[in-house]
């Protein structure tokens, strides 16, 4: 064994390079880098989710879904969500569906039909008699062995931009057929060229993106913060009058964008419905040609002053000759005016009217259509809209229902008028029956589930009216609304022949007034009872019968029972809750009435009526603070509502808030300049505040408005005599 040497042999140990990381360290650092990157990406997402959660927790905004789940008799169902319309309208202008409920899971042997559209499809002025309801009765009678669900999703003031998401939502629930009756609101509805609800937007992609964002509370918060106050919308819903200053001529370049949007949305509606397995029925849209003159007329661009002067002379000459019955001479004058200005809608309409009065019906039709096309307040679907509908009605699962043509064929001399339309586009019961019967026949021919299965009878119009309880009282009530609420306001008052049309309607209205006798009302009540017995699950019948009992027969207990039945059929129908609360208040059950009003407000907080009714109950109970709050909310949701101002001012005065009471009355007289009692009360308050000169002016105005009112004169004399001031003359 060799002895060890003095030098020790050292083993070679690899020296670690301190400047380069080990593989595990590099991997760790790379993981950390990706973690930081991920956190960098996720942190903003987390912030957005947190903000959305906080806004929802605080109750900010609204649910933008079309449907709301609920349970009815232990069954999972879906009902309409009225908050959906706030995607398109400011809170003060939000529109509503008529209530509907249907099972989430469709039963076997059930055929589900969805109706899409605007106010004409909804059934305005009364959805209880919409063509969808008549269609339901026709189907049930003709196919008694099948079950039908006809769901009407029509809504006032919407257009294809709003109808597309409704179609998308409804397609998830397997409809066999989708009926599309839309086109009247493309210009005046949301994002249209003549709308008051939102800015005209030429890019459909931007519209869709904006709507997608507003489905979230964060998007609603952002859009609310960026929105500019609009005086037109802050005044609350004003009907067609709101659009008077938003006219769109036939040669406005924005119209091409409107038509492109309509075509794209209609195609998208068809595709989403077809993917769900539905047959799509595309309806052309009818309108009143003969009895609806243009709402507004514009002039041809580029006319000189001399041409305008000559046009005016000829037009006025034609109007005078027509008034005298000299039709040939009037036509010559109007034709000469038309040669100068072929963009004036009323000239075209008057040429049509003269042709019709001269029995030249073939000539009248084209002139009436031309007048509709040139109308600068575009509340009616024009020829281009219906052309697009016809073009899209091609394919295996699409069918054209040419209701516009059918309505013309059902009209005297082929000219649609008051027989089928109440005013411009809203169908009478007869008009709705024509549309429903046409759709019914199309379904019978093309829907596989109906072929060769008809074993029942096809109801007549009279039988449908009986089944839906379309009584003389309902005819009177609708005529009253059309004549005394709609036609007395712009833009109707600016139409040619307006006085003549109102006079004719007044004659018919006087005849309908005969229904107000106790005997006639009793007969109407019996008709409702028969209809309810035949269709016990139809909540609309209970709703309408309750109104008859409450408003005309003062049978509040019976009305309350009908409204309670409505709640069973349509649990989230807030109007029925409000109506039931009114009946309970009349019967002295104030606490239960308050519960009904509060529930109605929870369901639809921006509806003024339950706030007003709640204020009245609080006022009656002596709860001044609560009553004042609810009166103010009423005015927030319905600015200018006349019944609020006097009781609100009274409560403020009793609490010593005289200046605030005066401010309320001044606001009220500004909104309601014909309210004599409000001016009288303003006079009393001004005198109390030591402003006798202003009080005299208020009393003077009150007596001008109501010269025969002994009460107003007595109040004025009492107040002024106390101050030694002579009565104003």
The CA distance from 482 to 504, in Å, is 13
What confidence score (pLDDT) does residue 296 get? 97
| Predicted confidence (pLDDT) per residue in 193-222, tens digit | 999 888 888 899 999 999 999 999 888 888
Does residue 119 share a domain with residue 211?
yes
Q: Residue 552: is its pLDDT beyond 80?
A: yes
Domain CATH number, residue 334 = 1.25.40.10
Does residue 212 share a domain with residue 129?
yes
In a domain, 20, yes or no: no
Does residue 409 share a domain with residue 276?
yes
In a domain, 603, yes or no: no
| Predicted confidence (pLDDT) per residue in 99-150, tens digit | 999 999 998 889 999 999 999 999 999 999 999 999 999 999 999 999 999 9
Does residue 158 share a domain with residue 227?
yes
Domain CATH number, residue 119 = 3.40.50.1110
Other Cβ atoms less than 10 A from the Cβ of 383: the count is: 13
Q: How far is CA 318 from the centre of its chain?
A: 39
Task: Answer yes or no: are the C-beta atoms of 681 and 690 closer than 8 Å.
Answer: no
Does residue 173 share a domain with residue 227?
yes
Q: Which of 642, 700, 692 is nearest to 667 (CA)?
A: 642
What confidence score (pLDDT) does residue 2 get? 45
Collapsing DSSP to helix, strand or coil, 549 comes out as: helix
CA 453-455-460 angle, to 5 degrees, is: 115
Does residue 332 share a domain with residue 193?
no
| Predicted confidence (pLDDT) per residue in 575-610, tens digit | 999 999 999 999 999 999 999 999 999 998 889 999
> Could you tell me which residue, 49 or 472, shows the higher pLDDT?
472
Range of the domain at 347: 305-374
In a domain, 103, yes or no: yes
In a domain, 709, yes or no: no
Q: Residue 12: is its pLDDT beyond 90?
A: no
What total of structural domains would you count in the chain?
A: 2
Does residue 333 share a domain with residue 436?
no
Strand order in the sheet with 279-283: 147-152, 110-117, 177-181, 279-283, 398-401
In a domain, 107, yes or no: yes
Does residue 89 share a domain with residue 125?
yes
φ/ψ (deg, to 5) at 32: -65, -40
Does residue 266 share a domain with residue 221?
yes
Does residue 233 share a domain with residue 314?
no
> Could you tell me which residue, 90 or 411, shows the higher pLDDT?
411
The CA distance from 461 to 440, in Å, is 13
What percent of the residues of the chain are helix, what percent strand, and what percent coil, each to the nearest 5? 60, 5, 35
Q: Average of pLDDT values for 688-704?
A: 91
């Amino acid at each position: 064994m060799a002895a060890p040497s003095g030098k020790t042999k050292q083993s070679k140990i690899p020296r670690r390079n301190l400047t380069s990381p080990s593989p595990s360290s590099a991997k760790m650092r790379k993981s950390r880098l990706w973690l930081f990157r991920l956190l960098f990406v996720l942190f903003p997402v987390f912030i957005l989710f947190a903000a959305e959660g906080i806004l929802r927790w605080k109750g900010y905004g609204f649910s933008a879904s079309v449907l709301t789940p609920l349970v009815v008799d232990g069954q999972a169902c879906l009902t309409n969500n009225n908050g959906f319309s706030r995607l398109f309208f400011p809170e003060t202008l939000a529109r509503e569906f008529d209530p509907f409920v249907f099972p989430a899971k469709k039963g076997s042997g059930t055929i589900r039909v969805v109706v899409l559209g605007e106010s004409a499809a909804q059934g305005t002025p009364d959805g209880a008699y919409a063509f969808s309801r008549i269609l339901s009765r026709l189907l049930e009678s003709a196919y008694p062995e099948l079950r039908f669900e006809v769901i009407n999703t029509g809504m006032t003031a919407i257009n294809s931009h709003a109808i597309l998401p409704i179609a998308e939502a409804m397609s998830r629930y397997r409809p066999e057929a989708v009926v599309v009756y839309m086109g009247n609101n493309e210009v005046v509805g949301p994002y249209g060229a003549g709308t008051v609800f939102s800015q005209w937007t030429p890019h459909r992609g931007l519209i869709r993106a904006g709507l997608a964002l507003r489905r979230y509370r964060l998007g609603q918060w952002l859009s609310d913060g960026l929105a500019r106050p609009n005086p037109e919308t802050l005044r609350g819903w004003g009907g067609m009058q709101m659009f008077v200053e938003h006219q769109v001529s036939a040669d406005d370049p924005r119209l091409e964008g409107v038509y492109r949007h309509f075509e794209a949305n209609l195609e998208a509606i068809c595709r989403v419905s077809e993917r769900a397995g539905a047959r799509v029925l595309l309806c052309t849209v009818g309108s009143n040609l003969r009895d609806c003159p243009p709402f507004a007329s514009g002039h041809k661009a580029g006319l000189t002053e001399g041409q305008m002067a000559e046009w005016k002379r000829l037009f006025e000459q034609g109007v005078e000759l027509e008034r005298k019955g000299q039709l040939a001479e009037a036509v010559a004058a109007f034709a000469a005016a038309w040669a100068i200005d072929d963009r004036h809608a009323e000239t075209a309409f008057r040429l049509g009217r003269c042709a019709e009065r001269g029995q030249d019906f073939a000539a009248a039709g084209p002139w009436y259509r031309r007048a509709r096309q040139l109308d600068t307040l575009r509340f009616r679907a024009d020829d281009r809209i219906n052309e697009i509908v016809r073009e899209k009605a091609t394919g295996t699962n699409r069918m054209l229902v040419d209701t516009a043509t059918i309505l013309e064929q059902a009209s005297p001399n082929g000219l649609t008028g008051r027989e089928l339309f109440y005013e411009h586009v809203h169908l009478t019961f007869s008009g709705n029956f024509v549309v429903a019967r046409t759709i019914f026949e199309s379904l019978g021919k093309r829907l596989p589930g109906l072929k060769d299965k008809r074993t029942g009878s096809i109801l007549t119009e009279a039988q449908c009216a009986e089944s839906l309880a379309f009584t003389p009282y309902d005819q009177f009530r609708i005529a009253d609304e059309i004549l005394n609420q709609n036609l007395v306001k712009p833009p109707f008052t600016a139409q040619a022949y307006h006085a003549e049309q109102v006079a004719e309607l007044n004659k018919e209205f006087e005849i309908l007034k005969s229904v107000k006798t106790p005997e006639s009302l009793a007969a109407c009540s019996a008709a409702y009872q028969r209809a309810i017995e035949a269709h016990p699950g139809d909540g609309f019948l209970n709703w309408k019968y309750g109104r008859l009992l409450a408003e005309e027969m003062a049978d509040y207990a019976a009305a309350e029972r009908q409204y309670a039945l409505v709640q069973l059929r349509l649990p989230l129908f807030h109007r029925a809750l409000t109506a039931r609360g009114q009946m309970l208040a009349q019967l002295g059950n104030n606490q239960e009435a308050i519960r009904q009003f509060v529930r109605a407000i929870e369901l639809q907080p921006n509806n003024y009526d339950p706030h007003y009714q709640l204020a009245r109950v609080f006022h009656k109970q002596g709860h001044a603070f609560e009553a004042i709050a609810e009166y103010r909310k009423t005015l927030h949701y319905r600015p200018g509502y006349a019944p609020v101002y006097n009781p609100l001012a009274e409560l403020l005065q009793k609490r010593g808030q005289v200046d605030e009471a005066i401010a309320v009355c001044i606001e009220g007289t500004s909104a309601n300049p014909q309210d004599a009692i409000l001016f009288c009360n303003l006079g009393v308050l001004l005198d109390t505040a030591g402003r006798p000169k202003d009080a005299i002016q208020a009393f003077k105005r009150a007596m001008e408005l109501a010269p025969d009112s002994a009460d107003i004169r007595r109040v004025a004399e009492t107040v002024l005599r106390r101050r030694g001031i002579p009565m104003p003359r």
